[in-house]
A and B are shown apart, each in its own frame.
Chain A
Amino acid sequence: MERVQIVSLLRKAVLYALILTGLDQIAGSFLDVVLDHSPDGRFYKAKYSLEECDEEIVIIGDSRGEMDYIPSVFIDSLGMTCWNASRGGQGLPYFRIMQEGILNRYRPKLVLFNVEDNMLEMPVNYERAGFLRPFYQSHPEIRPIINQVSPFERLLMQSRLYAFNSSFYYLFRPYLFHNLDGKREDLGWKPRPGMVIPEEEHEFIKETALAPLNPQSVAMFNEFMARFQEAGIMVMIVTPPNYNVQVVKSSTDCYVADYCQEHHIPLFRYSENIPLITHSEWYGDRDHLNPEGAVLFTQKVAHRIKKAMVENDKDPVSVIDFE
């Protein structure tokens, strides 16, 4: 009698699991359609970066990468097509995923890599790249990185609904509010309007502290750079400016400078460029340039790229640009 009851319960459990699996598939399929038709926003940009982009210049970075570099300025200045694949709040895992997705399809001529002054001191945060889970099944090349998001990721990714875990807000938002992450024709650039008000709280800070490097971040940075070098792609690194924060020396800066010198990679350091970092009218907030500042900054970077490409001038410090 007891055995019959247990077998009956197990049978019901299996049946229920099958129903749930069906519901999961239906929900996942619906969300796939929503993603595929995204009018703009972060999922549109991620899909374009991983599946469609074929531009000659690709910009990779975080929010400063996304807001400070305007592809259309590069197009006008350099005569090369350009796509900004940066994403706010992201770090090395996202950069690696973009890299794998892009290299799987084509070889851009130039990758412009935006490096934050403390990027290699911070621990690697895989969770933030979790929003790229919807691309897990269709992009096997990004799976090893997504699998690091949590210890159970490989198993959880069997669910189609889980692929959209916690992503609904940003998945549906573009349908209600357009262009919050930039217009399609901006080619990945997200403008940061407004102007920072020079107040007491924005007093000038000179950052010279040397925090220890995070070995995992360093290893991931090395892997990122090595993958592009193996693929024969030219990489240039830019350290972006922050309003009234002069990064004279950070562990990341030192490491990146040594790396660039050793591997003959152009490095443009704007994080210690006094004329640039003290102009409040160029900043939307302390960390990001507004459109006016972004145009000026992108023009300067384009000029440095031109020099580096044409004249083979790889002088790593470009502090003179804004004097």
Chain B
Amino acid sequence: MLFNSVDFGLFFPVVFVIYWLLANRELKSRNAFLLVVSYIFYGWWDWRFLALIAFSSLVDYAVGMALYQEKEKARRNVYLGLSIVCNIGLLGFFKYYNFFADSFVDAFSLFGKHIHVNTLRVILPVGISFYTFQTMSYSLDIYRNTLKPTKDLVAFLAFVSFFPQLVAGPIERASNLLPQFLEKRNFDEAKASEGFKLIIWGLFMKTAVADRLDLYVSAVYGNVDHHNGVTFMVATIFFAIQIYCDFAGYSLIAIGCAKTLGFELMTNFKRPYFAHSFKDFWSRWHISLSTWFKDYVYIPLGGSKTSRGRTYANLFTTFVLSGLWHGANWTFIIWGALHGLFQTVEKALQNARIIRVPRSFAILLVFALTCLAWILFRAATVQDAFSILNVIFLHPGHSLYTGDLGIFSFSLMAVLLLGLAEWAAEYRPDWTLLNHRSYAVRLVSTSFMILYMIGLGVFDGSQFIYFQF
């Protein structure tokens, strides 16, 4: 069930009303209700995949209990290993098996050896990368003695499958979300209103900006051989904004839905294109994933508390793995490697205290390099990505393909509106219209946004980009 679908438009109000009005006010029955509706939400795609999420949840529930009771390190390692093997095994089987099999065959063919490896015909279960990471973090935190396990199986299952953030995050930590399932939740009208505003803003980002820009981006990236460098530059900038609005929009809807139900999810995006360094960028972009990799990969590798060379290697490795997490394709791995490289170079320059640049120039530079990396992310193949880079740098041309002028001009308008809103949120928070102190301003701006969506939103039932991960 997509957030931008009529199905969800009917599902969520019904859930909201039953949850607060009809469900027994006891915590257990509300959690049970959330578990049932979350499984319905997930099963809407394919009910067979419910077994996977149930399996992943039960494994970590049992591992968490066992880890807590076990004091012997060797056994604790075995239990943790079980959680990691099960979760990474699920991911590996559904997401990466074919990629590694094909890469293996390609590697051999480079040396003139042609081998045959059977590939699988399986569908990637929606959100598997998100919920496996969420459940794994539960076991990892208990292993590190930073979290106590819960005995309440229903609460735990509801925590793993909590529908607002189940399929595309934010990837919640058990230490933040799980306790909220164990505490009584009371209805708060102000919080609910705030949640609905986040939902509206998230829908605006998705339907009026991301999906609008996609019309132009897809037209350009879908015909790699037919466009010049200028057109690809514009399409790539549009894609940078599209993917941000697509994913941040999803996160806002998720956070908003959770808020209306009395939950606080972590912030996932903080205006990333105002970042003045790559370190800053990754503290603003997909925060739940970048902190996950920081806590469970970068720091265990040694983090920055080691030699400089090793620190750079740790950083680079973490970003390559982050790229692989995004998708089983070399384009994502190179995208991750590029970000690893940017961060490493940035850290080296900072350590050497070589250059200092004005903040506005730094923001532009980070944005430009981020866009460069997005080319890898958006292109269908590495070959396509390099063709595009070749065209941008060697054959920029001077004419811009605009396609349908209506689509192009409304894309520009969407970018402008978003830019103004982001600028205000970054530098003049008191100017943000949706949270303005005046009730009239809030009402008018919310109404404008809804009417803008109706008039200029794209409602073609398109998926969120991060669903494929």
Query: Which residues of A approach B to under 8 Å, CB–CB?
Result: 2-3, 5-6, 8-10, 19-20, 23-24, 27, 89, 127, 149-152, 155-156, 159, 161-162, 164-170
Contact = CB atoms under 8 A, between A and B. Distances in A.
Main secondary structure on chain B at its contact with chain A? helix
Contacts of B192: 9
B451 A161 contact: yes
B21 A6 contact: yes
Given A151-B6, A159-B454, A166 B186 contact: no
B451 A164 contact: no
A263 to B, nearest CB: 35
A24 B453 CA distance: 12
B461 interface: yes
Given A5-B189, A156-B459, A170-B406, A19 B447 contact: yes
B410 interface: yes
Given A20-B451, A161-B451, A166 B456 contact: yes
B457 interface: yes
B97 interface: no
Nearest to B25: A2
Main secondary structure on chain A at its contact with chain B? helix
Contact of A150 (B25, B451, B459): B459
Contact of A152 (B21, B409, B461): B461
B455 A165 contact: yes
A253 to B, nearest CB: 24
Interface in B438-469: 447, 450-451, 454-461
B189 A3 contact: no
B375 to A, nearest CB: 26
B436 to A, nearest CB: 17
Given A6-B20, A8-B189, A127 B454 contact: no
Interface residues of B, number: 29
Contacts of B405: 169
B45 interface: no
B450 A20 contact: yes
Contacts of B187: 2, 5-6
B120 to A, nearest CB: 27
A20 B447 contact: yes
List 9 A-B pairs, minimum CB-CB distance, nearest first.
A169-B406, A152-B6, A2-B187, A161-B454, A5-B189, A151-B461, A6-B20, A162-B454, A150-B460
A23 B452 CA distance: 12
Contacts of A162: 454-455
Contacts of B451: 20, 23-24, 27, 161
Contacts of B6: 151-152, 155
A89 B404 contact: yes
- Counting chain B CB atoms within 10 Å of each CB, the highest count among A19, A89, A156, A166 belongs to A166
A9 B189 contact: yes
B455 A161 contact: yes
Interface string B13-33: 000010011000100000000
Nearest to A149: B460
Given A5-B187, A9-B193, A10-B17, 7 more contacts: A3-B21, A6-B189, A27-B451, A151-B5, A161-B454, A169-B406, A169-B409
B407 interface: yes
Contacts of B406: 166-170
A2 B20 CA distance: 8
A127 B461 CA distance: 12
A215 to B, nearest CB: 22
B233 to A, nearest CB: 22
A164 B186 contact: no
Contacts of A166: 406-407, 410, 455-456, 458
A131 B416 CA distance: 24
- Counting chain A CB atoms within 10 Å of each CB, the highest count among B17, B456, B459, B460 belongs to B459
25 contacts: A2-B25, A5-B189, A6-B20, A19-B447, A20-B450, A20-B451, A23-B447, A23-B451, A24-B451, A27-B451, A89-B404, A150-B460, A151-B5, A151-B6, A152-B6, A152-B459, A156-B459, A161-B455, A165-B454, A165-B457, A166-B455, A168-B406, A168-B455, A168-B456, A169-B409
B452 to A, nearest CB: 10
A174 to B, nearest CB: 13
Interface string B185-219: 01111001100000000000000000000000000
A42 B159 CA distance: 53
Nearest to B186: A2
Given A6-B20, A152-B5, A127 B460 contact: yes
